């Protein structure tokens, strides 16, 4: 099991959290996604390492951006 944390900018409500969670959960190998709305931290647990590009694409599909993108 691998765990990675990313920071997402632009989330302001529970719907934002739900959208990001749903999109990131669709990445192959992801088993759990935990989002902390106040900090923008998104912790992803997966069966194998996932790339930042995969997470960035999922977050952008939800309408948000990774910090530093």
**C-alpha 39: how far from chain center:** 13
Cα separation, 39 vs 30, whole angstroms: 21
What's the rounded mean pLDDT across residues 27-54?
A: 97
**Number of domains the chain contains:** 1
Per-residue pLDDT reduced to its tens digit, 4-25: 999 999 999 999 999 999 999 9
Q: What is the CATH number of the domain that holds 31?
A: 3.30.70.100
Higher-confidence residue: 68 or 42? 42
Asked if residue 28 lies in contact with residue 48, where contact means CB atoms within 8 angstroms, the answer is no
Q: Walk across the sheet containing 65-66 and list its strands.
A: 30-36, 41-46, 2-9, 65-66
Q: What is the pLDDT of residue 69?
A: 64
Q: What is the pLDDT of residue 8?
A: 98
- As a whole number, the mean pLDDT across the chain is 96
Residue ranges making up the domain that contains 18: 2-66
Asked if residue 23 lies in contact with residue 37, where contact means CB atoms within 8 angstroms, the answer is no
């Amino acid at each position: 099991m691998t765990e990675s944390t990313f920071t997402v900018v632009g989330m302001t409500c529970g719907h934002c959290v739900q959208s990001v969670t749903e999109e990131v959960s669709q990445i192959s190998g992801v088993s759990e996604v935990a989002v902390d709305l106040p900090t923008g931290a998104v912790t992803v647990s997966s069966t194998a390492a996932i790339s930042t590009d995969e997470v960035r694409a999922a977050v952008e599909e939800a309408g948000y951006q990774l910090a530093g993108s």
